[in-house]
Amino acid sequence: MSTETGAALDAEPRGHRLVQGPRGLPLLGSLPRFGKDPLAFFEHLRGYGDMVRWRFGRNECVFIADPECIGDLLTETERTFDQPLLGIAFRTVMGNGVVVARGPDWRRKRSLVQPSVRPQQVKSYASTMTACAVELAGTWADGERVDVKREMAALTQRIAVRTIFGVDTPADAESMGRAMDIAQQEIGKEFSGLGAVLPDWVPTPGRARIRKAAAVIDAEVGRVVARHRDGDGERPDLLSRLLTAVDGTGARLSDKEIRDETVTLYIGGHETTSSTLVWAWYLLSRTPRALESLTEELDRVLGDREPGIDDYARLPYAQAVVKETLRLYPTIWLVTGIAGKGASIGGVPMPEGTRVWSSQWVTHRDARWFPEPEAFRPERWDPETGDEIPEYAWYPFGGGPRVCLGTRFAMVESVLVLAVLARRFRLEVDPGTIGPVPVLTLQPDREVLATVRAR
């Protein structure tokens, strides 16, 4: 690092102190330690302070953990911070969709995709979410043994296939699901391993697997898109809305753009929600008091009927269960940005090209913002009696201009699915600690097996 760069990073006009973190190895920096256990490594960095220098390969980096600093990063993205160019595995699957695109291209795509997931549109998908959950409930029986990961994945796949593609053929969900599972694993492996610093042209077995998975995804999406184009009449699904969306010039999304945005919506509507529901059942099984409060609310509000979109606001404790689950096990566990000209964090200038990292896993478990941070306490989200939580101390969906477009979709889906299933059953998850694995999303490190108990 140059003297000029070091001097810029040492400035602390707003009281935030930038400290030197681990030096790491020549050329690799702290990449090996990060790759071994990213979550533990971020916890290690947090031990140095709220703003820490470190190196990822040859890249100069700063890790931040203070909500004020995180807010600077999130709100300044697309202004003084750029979206990083993510790995070849991620780009092979996601293409150049709204999550990956930058600058004017991102603004155009966001304007085309956003109408499909506005509250009014999510309202129209709520009945599908409830219907799919009711179908799953009909297959469960008292005393049955279930694999919670498999059950929740199948359920959210079914919801995604119906709401996004407007179809309900098992092959659609199964083939896409298998390809997505492979993609998620390979993206995680590349991101935390040597693949993160290898040039795109270097062949690896993982990159071969990701190309095969992407080919399956492309074929499935292409087949459904063709079916939609050949169909008559209007359809209420997300894909149909994308096909008819036009930008300010009257142009529509190309076939490649349709593919990229469809995959983005599928991952957002399936992978993240599935993971959240698995962790919710795990936490509820280990916190009887929280489960009792949840079922009391469901009985009082719903009685013997199924939940609808209007019940979402009437189920604040169910919402709190989802929020607390996302605090402890945030599906998206990492946010990064590349400093551009004029960038600063917490009042500290960031030299152009500095990569700034933040981890929900670390900030969400900070006792300064969340008393008893390891405890599952949905009550902390009560607007009247709960904790005072600073802005950007909880950011499972990111924030700022690039906040996840599917935030409301994911929250509504999680609450309605929990309401349908928890009104009928409780899941006794097998004893033993289940740890998180940071791949594309934060996944359990083993099977989550449970016994179904009818209420």
- pLDDT digit string (tens) for 123-168? 989 999 999 999 999 999 999 999 999 999 999 988 988 888 877 6
Please give the backbone phi and psi of residue 203, each rounded to the nearest 5 degrees, phi first. Answer: -80, 140
CA angle 23, 27, 28 (to 5 degrees): 70
Mean pLDDT of the chain: 88
pLDDT at residue 169, rounded to an integer: 59
Burial of 342 (0-12, 13-18, 19+ CB in 10 A): exposed
pTM of the full structure: 0.90
Closest Cα to residue 428, out of 454, 444, 405, 452? Answer: 452
User: Is the pLDDT confidence value at 348 over 70?
Assistant: yes
pLDDT at residue 168, rounded to an integer: 65
pLDDT at residue 181, rounded to an integer: 78
What does the pLDDT look like over 287-333, one tens digit per residue? 999 999 999 999 999 999 999 999 999 999 999 999 999 999 999 99
Higher-pLDDT residue of 248 and 20 is 20
User: Is the pLDDT confidence value at 13 over 60?
Assistant: no
Query: Residue 98's pLDDT band (boundaries 50, 70, 90)?
Result: confident
Query: Residue 231's pLDDT band (boundaries 50, 70, 90)?
Result: low
pLDDT at residue 17, rounded to an integer: 87
pLDDT at residue 7, rounded to an integer: 41
User: Is the pLDDT confidence value at 448 over 90?
Assistant: yes
User: Is the pLDDT confidence value at 209 over 70?
Assistant: yes
What does the pLDDT look like over 27-43, one tens digit per residue? 889 988 998 899 999 99
Closest Cα to residue 120, out of 234, 232, 236? Answer: 236
Give the rounded percent of residues in the chain with a pLDDT score beyond 70.
93
pLDDT at residue 186, rounded to an integer: 80
Query: Residue 10's pLDDT band (boundaries 50, 70, 90)?
Result: very low
CA atoms 383, 386, 392, 398: torsion sign:
negative
- For the chain, the C-alpha Rg in angstroms (whole number) is 22
User: Is the pLDDT confidence value at 5 over 50?
Assistant: no
